Amino acid sequence: MKFLVCLKQVPDSTVRVKVAPDGKSIATDGITWSISPYDEYAIELALEHKDSDPATTVSVVTVGPARSRDALRQALAMGCDDATLVTADDKVGGLDIAKALAAVVKEAKPDVVLCGKQASDDDQGLVGPALAEALGWPHVGMLTKIAAGGDGVELWREIEGGHEVWTAPLPVVGLVHKSAKEPRYPSLPGIMKAKKKEIPEKDLAALGVTPGAPRVEVVALEPPPQRGGGKILKADGDINALAVELARLLHEEAKVL
Amino acid sequence: MKVLVVAERNDGKLRRVSAEIATKAAAFCDVEVVEVTGTDRYHPVAHANAVAAHAKSSGADVVLTGATLNGRDLAARVAAKLGWAYAADCTDASATDGAFAVKRPMYAGKVRATLRVPTPAVLSIRPGAWTLPAGAAEAKPTAIRADASGEKLMFARFEPTATRGKRVSLSEASVIVSGGRGLKGPENWKMLEELADALGAATGASRAVTDAGWRPNEEQVGQTGKTVTPDLYIALGISGAIQHLAGMTSSKVIVAVNKDPDADIFKIADYGVVGDLFEFLPAFTAAVKKTKAGS
């Protein structure tokens, strides 16, 4: 099976995101960039297929600024076969990104396209379904597993209380929620190999995309309201009295019990 | 402005979020409420086809869905199909000239954004963001039919999660009891569940716990799990990694129990108990039961 994983480079999930002085963007000085967590799961899910069937290939692609090359390099080090960088500034709208990815898909002809269910920066979750729409392929969201079945593949979609299992002939788009295992760390040989790989670069024009889709404009960003100054109770005396006191506070003061 | 609200049902009943959106939208717009019928369950392609076609033929400027699992999936594909602007998981939206002013979380809840979304647009609205006024007239959705008969993507079967009980769903719960590594093992969840039962709460978990396989993935609260905003969130043995805090910091009241007085969870807790979880929890469950019985 031939996989193509679409990824996005985002601030690492351990970064304490701060609003920049312009009030409309985030402060990027000195922050660590990583592959978006759900995209990492998508890579892992594809690589798990490669582990059990060496004929499987896993390609990665991103549409983003030049720094995104590092995220592609990381994916190669994890074990992906090849990578493509489509350069675009971060103002390009989701529907235009989907069009650019669709052009890459038409050239690469994968059986399965995987995207993380949403990128952990804008948390929109638009590009995956929009890519499926641009290709005229079906998509399945909340994907946790893909296996041979039916005339093509079985796609496991996590919902409340369990999984819906869908079948579709190939090709198909999956929006990944989790992989079976945690995303692997790059191995040392993997890192060495990844360093030597060429990462071809294209721009939107080369893919026939002129940005023009409606765009959502950020008017203001603000940190969530600060919390703190809570009551801290120490359990060093009568534990039952303490439990009763907390229940009383929740009932009488916080009024949530 | 003409608004198309796509309602959802759960076990035959209109979802609360659908009622919230229909009621709120009616206050400022010309609203049509529809629900998609014709298939046994949500079909990602067939439902998007039906909704996009209806949005076009009815002359809608805005499509609103609940930011539920299916609502978000649907809204994104409909936006792509129509080539409209899109914003997911909005906590507020109001019409201005030719656009919507939208509020929504970004960066996994670490930032709150105000956005300008040009119309026409598709928006999904977070459950509970628009509270339903008491005595609001129940929305009566018109049925629009989806046709999945020609679709290659087909539903095959449902595989239930083994550990699932008859508990409240996490994303719509008003009380959540969550456990972390401090519970030391899956066998100790019985204690947590007793408290959850006493409170009528949903059960959640930290990522460390779901990664270890102690609890199913669907219970994970935080950056790669669910974002929750209950009235009461009780964190038991959770240290408070930034990824976990991002998913629950907007809860109304946060209670944390942890033996480490320096745990980050105490920085955002309204009530903290520093002490042994295994001693405190049974006593607290008993106290909750008593309080509940007395109120």
What is the complex's ipTM, to 2 decimals?
Answer: 0.94
Percent of chain A with pLDDT over 70: 100
Q: A residues 75-94 near B, CB within 8 Å?
A: 94
Predicted local distance difference test score (pLDDT) of residue B244: 95
Predicted local distance difference test score (pLDDT) of residue B127: 87
Q: Which CA distances in Å does A25 have to A95, A121, A125?
A: 21, 11, 19
Are the C-beta atoms of residues A2 and A171 closer than 8 Å to each other?
no
Banded pLDDT at A201 (limits 50, 70, 90): very high
- Cβ separation of A243 and B280 shorter than 8 Å? yes
Residue B125 CB neighbours (<10 A): 30
Banded pLDDT at A226 (limits 50, 70, 90): confident
Percent of chain B with pLDDT over 90: 80
- Cβ separation of A216 and B110 shorter than 8 Å? no
Which of the residues A159, A215, A245 would you substitute to probe the B interface, choosing the one with the greatest number of B C-beta atoms within 10 Å? A159
Q: Where are the beta strands (DSSP E) in chain A?
A: 2-6, 9-11, 33-35, 57-64, 82-87, 112-116, 139-149, 152-159, 162-168, 172-176, 201-203, 217-222, 231-234
Q: Which residues contact A29 (CB under 8 A, 6 or more apart)?
A: none
Residue B165 pLDDT exceeds 70? no
Predicted local distance difference test score (pLDDT) of residue B168: 78
Separation in Å, CA of B149 to nearest CA in chain A = 13
Find the mean pLDDT for residues B264-279: 96
Q: B residues 79-138 near A, CB within 8 Å?
A: 79-81, 83-89, 101-102, 104-118, 121
Predicted local distance difference test score (pLDDT) of residue A234: 87
Find the mean pLDDT for residues B266-285: 96
Residue A156 near chain B (CB below 8 Å):
yes
At A25 the three-state DSSP class reads coil
Are the C-beta atoms of residues A71 and A33 closer than 8 Å to each other?
yes
Banded pLDDT at A128 (limits 50, 70, 90): very high
Find the mean pLDDT for residues B62-88: 97
pLDDT in tens, B176-216: 999 999 999 999 999 999 999 999 999 999 999 999 999 98
d(CA A66, CA A93): 17
Residue A131 pLDDT exceeds 80? yes
Q: Which CA distances in Å does B229 have to A117, A158, B204, B223?
A: 21, 21, 12, 14
Q: What HEC string does B4-24 produce?
A: EEEECEECCEECHHHHHHHHH
Residue A240 near chain B (CB below 8 Å):
yes
Predicted local distance difference test score (pLDDT) of residue A160: 84
Predicted local distance difference test score (pLDDT) of residue A170: 97
Q: Which of A93-97, B25-29, B280-284, B285-289 has the lowest mean pLDDT?
A: B25-29
d(CA A134, CA A105): 10
Residue A148 near chain B (CB below 8 Å):
no
pLDDT in tens, A25-53: 999 999 999 999 999 999 999 999 999 99
Q: A residues 33-72 near B, CB within 8 Å?
A: 37-38, 41
Residue A78 pLDDT exceeds 70? yes
Separation in Å, CA of B13 to nearest CA in chain A = 16
Q: Which CA distances in Å does A211 have to A92, A93, B9, B85, B142?
A: 7, 8, 38, 14, 37
Are the C-beta atoms of residues B265 and B245 closer than 8 Å to each other?
yes
B contacts of A98 (beta carbons < 8 Å): 80
Torsion on CA atoms A87, A93, A94, A100, rounded to nearest 10: -40
- Does an H or E element contain A181, and which? none
* DSSP result, B240-265: --HHHHHHHTT-SEEEEEES-TT-TH
Predicted local distance difference test score (pLDDT) of residue B164: 52
H helix and E strand count, chain B: 8, 17
What chain A residue is nearest to B88 in terms of C-alpha separation?
A124
d(CA B88, CA B100): 13
Residue A221 pLDDT exceeds 90? yes
Rama region for B111: left / alpha / beta (φ>0; ψ in -120 to 50; rest): beta
Find the mean pLDDT for residues B48-70: 97
Rg (CA), chain A: 22
Which of the residues B106, B124, B258 would you substitute to probe the A interface, choosing the one with the greatest number of A C-beta atoms within 10 Å? B106
Residue B246 pLDDT exceeds 80? yes
Q: Is the dihedral of CA B249, B255, B260, B266 positive or negative?
A: positive
Report pTM: 0.91
Which of the residues A15, A43, A122, A256 would you substitute to probe the B interface, choosing the one with the greatest number of B C-beta atoms within 10 Å? A256
> Nearest to residue A147, comparing CAs of A56, A29, A82, A235?
A56
The pairing of strands B253-258 and A217-222 is unpaired
Predicted local distance difference test score (pLDDT) of residue B200: 93
Are the C-beta atoms of residues A207 and A104 closer than 8 Å to each other?
yes
Q: B residues 147-206 near A, CB within 8 Å?
A: 151-161, 164, 169, 175, 199
Residue A215 near chain B (CB below 8 Å):
yes
B contacts of A124 (beta carbons < 8 Å): 76, 86-88
Terminal-residue alpha carbon distance, chain B: 47
Are the C-beta atoms of residues A130 and A6 closer than 8 Å to each other?
no
Which of the 8 DSSP states describes residue A19?
A: B
Mean pLDDT score of chain A: 95
At residue A230's C-alpha, the angle toward residues A227 and A234, to 5°, is 145
Mean pLDDT score of chain B: 93
Are the C-beta atoms of residues B193 and B281 closer than 8 Å to each other?
no
